[in-house]
Amino acid sequence: MTLNIINPKNKIGVGIITYNREDLFYECLKSLPFADEIVVVNDGKEFKNTKNLSNINHIIQHDKNYGVAKSKNDALKYLLKQGCENIFLCEDDVKIINENVFEEYIKASETSGIQHLNYAYHGPTNKNNISHYQEIKYEKGVGLSFHRYPIGAFTFYTRTAIEKVGLLDERFHNFHDHVDHTARFIKAKLHPPYGWFADIVSSDKFISDQDPELSRSTNKRNTLNYSLKYYYYYLKYILKNGNPKVAEFTELHSYLINLKSKNKYNFVK
């Protein structure tokens, strides 16, 4: 079964990023539907069990822990080199629960003109912030949702968008790397304004969070070391991008109107 039905010439590429959570990684890998290219970037210890890796096109094994930003860049560079047009990056603690997930993200992007989408329901942040939520429906039945916070566990990019914006800034290592990357898509008008981070509607029906409370995060939360790193990289983000300001709803509406997409939409809520 091939899900690349919108344009069969457009290759789908998936990069899985993993670090010392082999059990979660195998669940993530096992859940993946068909993709033209699958690359795994292992930023931790070498895999103990290699018998279930046959459907992977390429494995990049780091010789030390370089951080998630470089790991994602290594995946992106490989998938771009392989000619992939629709690219997904997936961290090891998410699990696909609907095999049409790639098709849904690609349709949402092609219908709306938005070229970068983030799965919103990894961890508790957006789940606990439902008051800041908007949803739109297009005439073709495609829906988009907009959330307060950007999450980097499962992301979609078009090749065109990456070629215009570039790769992640590796100076952020493990903190705010995806926020900074999305901010650059916003500046390039390839993503809605800050504070209205785009996802498909009901993405939690397509993707499951294997670690909903982030209790197995390799960034040990509730520790002094974590707090110091978090605020250090947050300061770096502010120095680079300025203090983040949530855009008004009218700015979201204006952005959607000005997109090149000719497909009409309506706000649902």
Dihedral over alpha carbons 90, 94, 100, 104 (to 10 degrees): -60
What pLDDT score does 224 carry?
A: 80
Q: pLDDT tens-digit profile of 29-71?
A: 999 999 999 999 999 999 988 777 888 999 999 999 999 999 9
Edge-to-edge strand ranges of the sheet holding 133-138:
197-200, 143-147, 133-138, 265-267
Query: Is residue 1 over pLDDT 50?
Result: no
Which residue segments constitute the domains of the chain, with CATH numbers given? 11-267 (3.90.550)
Average pLDDT over residues 68-90: 98
What pLDDT score does 131 carry?
A: 61
Query: Is residue 169 over pLDDT 70?
Result: yes
Q: pLDDT tens-digit profile of 194-251?
A: 999 999 999 999 999 887 766 666 666 567 887 888 888 889 999 999 998 999 999 9
pLDDT band at residue 186 using 50, 70 and 90 as cut-offs? very high
Q: DSSP for the chain?
A: -----S-TTSEEEEEEEESS-HHHHHHHHHH----SEEEEEE-SSPPS--TT-TT-SEEEE-SS---HHHHHHHHHHHHHHTTEEEEEEEETTEEE--TTHHHHHHHHHHHH---EEE---SSSTTTT-TTSEEEEEETTS-EEEEESS---SEEEEEHHHHHHH-S--GGGTTSSHHHHHHHHHHHTTSSPPTT-EEEETTGGGTEEESSTT-TT-SS-SSSHHHHHHHHHHHHHHHHHH-S--PPPHHHHHHHHHHSS----EEE--
Radius of gyration for the alpha carbons in the chain, expressed in angstroms and rounded: 18
What pLDDT score does 89 carry?
A: 98
Report the mean per-residue pLDDT for the chain. Answer: 89
Residue 218 CA, chain-centre distance (Å), reads 18
Q: pLDDT tens-digit profile of 106-131?
A: 999 999 999 999 999 887 677 666 66
Q: Which residues contact 104 (CB under 8 A, 6 or more apart)?
A: 98, 200, 206
pTM here is 0.91
Q: pLDDT tens-digit profile of 7-22?
A: 546 899 999 999 999 9
Contact of 257 with 113, CB cutoff 8 Å: no
Cα–Cα distance list, 194 to 100, 147, 234 (Å) = 28, 10, 16
Measured CA to CA, the distance from residue 25 to residue 180 in angstroms comes to 25
What pLDDT score does 3 carry?
A: 37
What pLDDT score does 264 carry?
A: 83
Measured CA to CA, the distance from residue 143 to residue 246 in angstroms comes to 22
Query: Is residue 4 over pLDDT 60?
Result: no
Q: pLDDT tens-digit profile of 155-164?
A: 999 999 999 9
